[in-house]
Amino acid sequence: MSVDAAELKRRTAELLAAHPPADTAPADFLTARFAAGLAWVHYPVGLGGLDAPRALQAVVDAELAAAGAPDNDPRRIGIGLGMAAPTLLAHGTEEQQRRYLEPLWTGAEVWCQLFSEPGAGSDLAALGTRAVREGDDWIVNGQKVWTSSAHVARWAILIARTDPDVPKHAGITYFVCDMTDPGVEVRPLRQITGEAEFNEVFLTDVRIPDSRRLGAVGDGWRVAQTTLNNERVAIGGMRLPREGGMIGPVATAWRERPELRTHDLHQRLLKLWVDAEVARLTGERLRQQLAVGQPGPEGAGMKLGFARLNQEISGLEVELLGAEGLLYDDWTMRRPDKVDFTGRDAGYRYLRAKGNSIEGGTSEILLNIVAERVLGLPAEPRTDKDVAWKDLAR
């Protein structure tokens, strides 16, 4: 049967009646919500969804929010929700989907991403972490870097080189790595904010069963494109209300503290407010496109705009607050399990926004993607595309 808004409201009412939020432990409520197909309604039946149109998720979310139901703390599990889940849905086996998707969505298991390396960041296909087949297992050795949430993650999406004798894009395979396995070492990387929300990860003779491979051997680059396209949408295209995100605290300070206002700052705030609203509405349109298929390279444009706006808005906020904007409540090396831009000081926002043009693909690389895949401009010359990875200069 087709599922419409009325049917979703009925099913949500049944869930709330059977599991009243005030009397049900949050973990139990989330598990029941997944079983009812109300986790992500556009996913298949049995995997937390009802094969319903993606746009109808807002109906369920509104009903549950009005009832005071717990959410799954999406900021804490954003990598799982925005990157691992769509990749598992597109390329995973039925067994993998049934094993990983429910605890991923409920937040019982946190995910991280083992992609970038010290010598393979912007040029991710140059990665050197090796996976060698040994019977039914793969033995993995290498180093990954900039791994957000690795210190709290149970699982990781991992790409590694399985064939060094073919061109760099062709010899990569995609795996799911258990972060609790022997040989996985996580070390904190301290950021300009004073925190260490991301890490470097060393893999030494880590044994991964072939049953945790996603896609065919050597097809990892294609599988990774699903992850990367979803990542850029997840970072740059999140759903926000008007004045949501970074523009909100600045607009609030402007209204509540007239003594801080100047004509120059007023003009800049107006421009950035309009830019933020344009980005918000563009994100809505992008999500409508997602409802009929997988995200494409357009997500790179959203991510570009997100990074530029966050950096300009946070810079304006520091200028508006003057000396007060330089204050920062906690410079100790904390190990947060999620990033919270709006719940922190202006000084934190200003510093943390610097990373927005690096994480999820550097702005320089995203400009290339937009130029080539969205605008159809000629590609930059690449002399290494047909050279075996082992013969590349490093």
What one-letter code names the amino acid at 308?
Answer: R
Contact between residue 173 and residue 217 where contact means Cβ atoms under 8 Å apart: yes
Distance CA 277, CA 281 (A): 6
Distance CA 29, CA 26 (A): 5
* Exposure class string for 36-68: b at 16+ Cβ within 10 A, else e: bbbbbbbbeeebbbbebbbebbebbbebbeeee
Distance CA 260, CA 257 (A): 6
Catalytic residue among 102, 195, 231, 298: 231
The secondary structure of residue 21, as a DSSP letter, is G
Contact between residue 188 and residue 335 where contact means Cβ atoms under 8 Å apart: yes
Distance CA 183, CA 171 (A): 23
The secondary structure of residue 193, as a DSSP letter, is T
Distance CA 371, CA 119 (A): 25
Distance CA 37, CA 32 (A): 9
Which residue has 């556009």 as its token pair?
A: 42
Contact between residue 160 and residue 142 where contact means Cβ atoms under 8 Å apart: yes
Contact between residue 48 and residue 107 where contact means Cβ atoms under 8 Å apart: no
Strands 198-209 and 137-148: antiparallel
Contact between residue 103 and residue 343 where contact means Cβ atoms under 8 Å apart: no
Contact between residue 175 and residue 192 where contact means Cβ atoms under 8 Å apart: no
Per the annotation, the verdict on 372 as an active-site residue is no
Active site members: 231
